[in-house]
Amino acid sequence: MIKSPPQKYSPINVEKKILKFWDENSIFQMSIDQRKGCKPYVFLEGPPTANGMPHPGHILTRVMKDLVLRYETMNGHYILRKAGWDTHGLPVEIEVEKQLGLEDKQGVEEYGIKKFNEECKKCVFKYEHAWVEMTKRIGFWLDMENPYVTLTNDYIESVWWSLKQAWAKKLLYKGYKVVPYCPRCGTALSAHEISQGYKNVKEPSIFVKFKLKNKDEYFLAWTTTPWTLISNVALAVHPDQLYVKIRYNDQILILAEERAPVLLKGQNYDLLDGFKGKELEKIEYEPLFDFVKVKKKAWYVVLADFVTMEDGTGIVHIAPAFGEDDYNVGMKYDLPVVQLVKLDGTFPPEVPLWKGQFVKDADPKIIEHLKKRKLIEGVHEYTHDYPFCWRCESPLIYYAMESWFIAMTNVQESLVRNNNNINWYPEHLQQGRFGDFIRDVKDWSLSRKRYWGTPLPIWTCTDENCKNQICIGSIKDLRELSENFPKDYDLHKPLVDELIIKCPKCKSKMKREEEVIDCWYDSGSAFFAQWHYPFENKQEFKQNFPVDFISEALDQTRGWFYSLLAISTFLFDERAYKNVLTLGLVLDENNQKMSKSKRNYVDPDIILDNEGADALRWYLISASAPWMSKRFYEQAVKETLGKFILTFWNSYNFFATYAALDNFNPKKDILPIQRRQFLDKWIISRFNKISSEFKRYMKTFEVHKAARVVEGFIIEDFSNWYLRRSRKRLWAEEKTQDKLAGYSTMYEVLLGLSKLVAPFIPFITEEIYQNLKTDDI
């Protein structure tokens, strides 16, 4: 029988009651077990790191995932919902360094790598309880008791297997390249990592004069990185562009013809000569600095197609140690690589003027020094995007160094083809932000000179005459090759570096390459490593690959979304996922990025305590398209509670209160539709119509439109129109046919609504459903 509900809706009370019901009756597990044998819908959870508290962005991703998975479950799909934890990498190391008061890598090594990694292992689960509680509280059904964890031996072994596949395909190689490098963290970063950390900055750009050898004439070049001038060895011009020699301010300057009128607009200068860029090749000039002697020829003009006329002077200063284009042209002309910056980003003793200073901090002093030498023609403030470390927020520098790479350029065509077979939401990302990135894909800078991560499984023979290298792809192989493999083991540093391995060729001792791998490779391996594939669960993996659905925020476009596709492409030449729902950023009330330092950060617990999970969920889902940014503030959720949630509750309350008084029994008292009023038939027709619209929107992940269709129906059609015009029908003392017709219609609509929007607002709909259902429903 229908019971009379509480007159006042209390989100906290309803949620506690429903959570208890779900827990005591194992409802989540039941929803999976009941659908065994049904068509699977494969979901892959993007693993967060639990060394920090969950924030509003995590709430959004969890709400959206749960919405989709509940909807697909209710449509008869069998869905496993395995949680995951991303446990390696710089985020963890930086947190532990702060806890231990360590300032750099030297401090870590003095503290001890083993002890440091033990602290990292503890740190990654510091806030696990808070994550679990948040996940439960917002109603996200996720198996958090059996998660995949990237630090386990099984997971690492699967990752090693994949790296051995790359090795066998000659995709894994060691190279000397210019890579984005974080001096603070002491490690290189990959192209998809730096895409996450750009900031708009204002910096000085300078026009520098380089004196031609034995002539009182100057090449005029432009740079936004004055610190790299210390290592200048050449100047580049475009071979096919026109260049001019002009007299300006009693000096003779050479620059691009196209740039002269732009830079000297409104100023007088005399044109003395003109020539193609190729005619300037090999002309020598005097070095700006002579801190070191070079063994190769330097300080002359080279030709390069990358020189543009869009800004600057059409002449680019070349420092092969600090730029990819510079390094490549340096290789072509056999230029020396003058590396006058230490790994910590400071100048070495060889640069006495700025010894020990961080390069970016030295820029103003370098500019002042060149001004005194009358080699600066102009200084302008320049606004541009500059890469910062995505974790410690230090400015990055481009640095020539040895690193291990995966040759993604070799599989670029396969990447593009596999991406074309993925359904992107929104669609424009496929050929836009993501497509652009993979069409210009770079080799993946895989290795990190750090401590807490999956060790690179490559060993090199120490015999200078041998230098044989092996890549180990399983624990079995490692055990067989090691003379001292322990019974209890942890596949992290320092254990892997303490194993005694003899070279299969010459029997000399082998030494592991010291690096760990990019933690994005760890998380990008989740689609197979969570199964411990190929060592176990081969059938399970095949049945769950590629996955049907993933969803994360927009910043993962060149992060996790890329690493998944990259790894699945070179391993299996297949897409890793079929559908990807990309979510917008979560901003504050004024559309500003949330930050505790700005004091515009909203604690989700406050909203959950006051307005409840359903109101929060409905607001996040209905406010805008999933891929659009969302403002996150309490007043908006409070308005959602008052406008929609309470309207829905009060509509249900009105019916249930009267139905309980009249002992309305759905098993016996439901009237057939033919015996009801036109008003009843109209509201049922409207419900059927919006149900069809709702399902159409859900197919394309336009969940905001689906929500708005339902919201409009409940507020306008059902509450404002139907219920207001049906009140008097329920006031009759006896169970008249008209009264039963009203009860029958209200019951069917409310029961239908409780099912329809259950994926959106699971708590209030469960409460309504449990009261309205009959034993045979």
3-state SS record for 59-96: HHHHHHHHHHHHHHHHCCCECCCEEEECCCCHHHHHHH
For residue range 699-716, what is the model confidence (pLDDT) as tens digits? Answer: 999 999 999 999 999 999
Paired strand residues for 358: 346
The confidence score (pLDDT) of residue 599 equals 66
Omega before residue 504 within 30° of 0, cis: no
| HSE-up of residue 311 (Cα within 13 Å, Cβ side) | 10
As a whole number of angstroms, the distance between CA 598 and CA 610 comes to 23
Q: What burial letters (b/e) apply to 69-88, b meaning 16+ CB within 10 Å?
A: bbbbbeeebbbebbbbbbbb
Place 394 in a pLDDT band, splitting at 50, 70 and 90.
Answer: confident
The yes-or-no verdict on residue 770 having pLDDT over 80 is: yes
Q: For 313-338, what is each residue's pLDDT tens digit? A: 999 999 999 888 998 899 899 999 99
* List 165, 196, 339, 556, catalytic entry: 556
Annotated catalytic, 593? yes
Confidence of residue 598 (pLDDT cuts 50, 70, 90): low
Distance (Å, rounded) from C-alpha 264 to C-alpha 559? 43
Q: Using alpha carbons, select from 578, 614, 588 the residue that is nearest to residue 764.
A: 614
State how far the Cα of 34 lies from the Cα of 76, in Å rounded to an integer: 9
- Which of these is catalytic: 293, 596, 668, 699? 596
Q: How confident is the model at residue 22 (pLDDT cuts 50, 70, 90)?
A: very high
Q: How far is the C-alpha of 520 from the C-alpha of 89, rounded, in Å? A: 8
3-class SS of residue 460: strand
Residue 776 is predicted with a pLDDT of: 47
Pick the catalytic residue from 560, 618, 627, 649.
Answer: 560
- Residues 734-738: what's their mean pLDDT? 90
The CA–CA distances, whole Å, from 775 to 22, 741, 758 equal 18, 22, 19
> Sorting pLDDT into bands at 50, 70 and 90, what band is 777?
very low
Q: Are 131 and 54 in contact (CB under 8 A)?
A: yes
- Strands 270-276, 143-149: pairing is unpaired
Mean pLDDT of 268-286: 94
Q: How far apart are CA 723 and CA 654, in angstroms?
A: 9
358-362, 700-704, 756-760: lowest mean pLDDT where? Answer: 358-362
Active site residue 520: yes
Percentage of the chain surpassing pLDDT 90? 79
Q: Which of 47, 54, 183, 762 is catalytic?
A: 47
Is 297 known to be catalytic?
A: no
Cβ neighbours, 10 Å, residue 546:
21
Q: Would the pLDDT of 596 be above 60?
A: no
Confirm whether 560 is a catalytic residue.
yes
Confidence of residue 240 (pLDDT cuts 50, 70, 90): very high
Distance CA 500, CA 478 (A): 10
d(CA 242, CA 238): 8
Q: Could you give the 3-state DSSP secondary structure of residue 186?
A: coil
Task: Tell me 512's DSSP state.
Answer: E
Give 79's pLDDT tier (boundaries 50, 70, 90).
very high
Does residue 731 carry a catalytic annotation? no
From the candidates 593, 667, 689, 695, which is the catalytic residue?
A: 593
CA–centroid distance for 168 within its chain: 29
pLDDT higher than 80, residue 191: no
Alpha helices of 432-587 — where are they, by DSSP H?
A: 433-439, 475-481, 495-498, 519-524, 526-529, 538-543, 560-572
- pLDDT digits over 422-468, tens only? 999 999 999 999 999 999 998 998 999 899 999 999 999 999 999 99
Instruction: Look up the pTM and report it.
Output: 0.85
Residue matched to tokens 């000399």 = 508
Catalytic: which of 520, 531, 618, 649?
520
